[in-house]
Amino acid sequence: MIRRFLYYFLLLGGISLFASSCQTRKKRINTRITLWRKDKIPYGAFYAYENVGFLFPKASINLNGISPARNFSIAENVIDTLQGANKLHKAYVILSTQVIADQEEINAMMNFVSTGNYLFISTFFIGDSLLKAVDSSARQTASGMFFLKDSMDIRLKDPNTGEGREYAYPGIGTESGFSALDSHYAAVLGTNSRGVPNFIRYNFQHGGAVFLHLAPMAFTNFFLLHKDNKTYFDKAMSYIPVNINELDWDDYFRKPREFSRMRFMFSKPPFAWAIGLILLLFFILYVFESKRKQRVIPKISPLKNSSLDFVKTVGRLYYQRKDNLNLAGKMIMHFLGHIRSQYGLPTTNIDEAFAEKLSYRSGCNRLQAGDLVNNIRFILKKESLSDEELMQFNTELESFYKTT
């Protein structure tokens, strides 16, 4: 009795502990960092992308999924330079976990900015080549993807008053920043919690500018929807003139950079020759091995009964002319010819004996064969034939052909 009571006590205690743990369990937040314009998760960039159009009401918002080397053509830059101050300016916004560009892409982006356009990059890590192209003395203090923390405090200067304001949120943050900046060209627009610049601007001669931002978590849904943090995005993007004509939102640098690696390999002659020879070898193997060992046996269709098709065609002709008796005669001639060739029966006398032999050799019903023979004899004696009689005779013939 005591053992049973102890068993029930332990069972009830386990159930109560399980129920209490289920009630106190907190809902887990999706901590995946995508910075993707379509993601509504905490660390996606849906809010930023959907609201950028309100900051630039005169600009058309475009998506760019190709390399800047192709998007910003040299001819377009030359035209922009010739137009000078009268041309309409553009902005190119890159929001990605890292921005690593090759030399061709860097040259295209610098040409784009030098003609009076604006390049805005917000990322955890900027490639050394791109950073040197903008400011040869600039360095990153840390790569944000490897120094994430559980909160973030940043400071941003107001583009109108120049006064700084602090922004914070309890989500994932980073302490990346820039060091050794060239103060003659770099303007500090924002800093991290330690006072290290994490948002800087470089002005170019023809009015263009490059914005480098190392706190992309400040453009995520979680940060911008926390309290009044949405003003951070508004003020940061307000450094770009509001009267721009076009704004390209980048999708290219979010993709894996396998294409750039392949281009790097092909830029080296030994790699290019090796890959070319391998492709040539595979092509030769394909040409020789793709030949069939045996030709395909063509499918031979069965021979069609052309005489039957001819009779049907002639029958339609006679039926259209309403020559029913003549048509019935042609049908009888074809039927008797079929009997002679198929069953070897003489068709000189169409009588009861003929019907008996026809039923025996064709396998049709004796009554059916007798009715068919009687109908033939009846038609041969008539001087005219109605449509109903012709259709009845045709039905009897079709029934005979199907059952034999």
State pLDDT tens for residues 95-118: 999 999 989 999 999 999 999 999
12 domain residue, yes or no: no
pLDDT of residue 221: 95
Q: Do 231 and 94 belong to one domain?
A: yes
On the question of pLDDT at 225 being above 70, the answer is yes
Partners of 90 in beta bridges:
246
pTM: 0.57
23 domain residue, yes or no: no
On the question of pLDDT at 324 being above 70, the answer is yes
pLDDT of residue 381: 83
On the question of pLDDT at 349 being above 60, the answer is yes
Tokens of 310: 């001819």
Percent of the chain residues topping a pLDDT of 90: 36
3-state secondary structure of 397: helix
Average confidence (pLDDT) over 141-165: 80
Q: Do 270 and 328 belong to one domain?
A: no
Q: Do 70 and 93 belong to one domain?
A: yes
pLDDT of residue 183: 78
pLDDT of residue 205: 82
Q: Do 156 and 204 belong to one domain?
A: yes
Partners of 155 in beta bridges:
166, 191
Range of the domain at 179: 46-255
pLDDT of residue 122: 96
Comparing 350 with 87, which gets the higher pLDDT? 350
329 domain residue, yes or no: yes
Q: Do 155 and 233 belong to one domain?
A: yes
State pLDDT tens for residues 247-281: 999 999 987 654 455 655 665 677 778 888 898 88
Average confidence (pLDDT) over 194-218: 92
In eight-state DSSP terms, residue 229 is: T
CA–CA distance, 82 with 79 (Å, rounded to integer): 5
Q: Do 57 and 76 belong to one domain?
A: yes
Confidence of residue 199 (pLDDT cuts 50, 70, 90): very high
pLDDT of residue 41: 93
On the question of pLDDT at 246 being above 60, the answer is yes
98 domain residue, yes or no: yes
Q: Do 284 and 326 belong to one domain?
A: no
120 domain residue, yes or no: yes
pLDDT of residue 28: 73
Tokens of 348: 């000189």
CA–CA distance, 248 with 95 (Å, rounded to integer): 11
Q: What is the DSSP string of 318-385?
A: HHHTT-HHHHHHHHHHHHHHHHHHHH----S--SHHHHHHHHHHH---HHHHHHHHHHHHHHHH-S--
32 domain residue, yes or no: no
Residue bearing tokens 């090759």: 102
What is the pLDDT of the chain when averaged over all its residues? 81
Comparing 293 with 106, which gets the higher pLDDT? 106
Average confidence (pLDDT) over 240-248: 94
Confidence of residue 374 (pLDDT cuts 50, 70, 90): confident
Q: Do 325 and 280 belong to one domain?
A: no
Q: Do 52 and 192 belong to one domain?
A: yes
pLDDT of residue 111: 93
Q: Do 334 and 346 belong to one domain?
A: yes
Q: Do 283 and 341 belong to one domain?
A: no
Q: Do 68 and 100 belong to one domain?
A: yes
Confidence of residue 162 (pLDDT cuts 50, 70, 90): confident
The alpha-carbon radius of gyration of the chain (Å, integer) is 44
Comparing 376 with 264, which gets the higher pLDDT? 376
State pLDDT tens for residues 3-60: 555 555 555 555 665 555 554 445 677 888 999 999 999 999 999 999 999 999 999 9
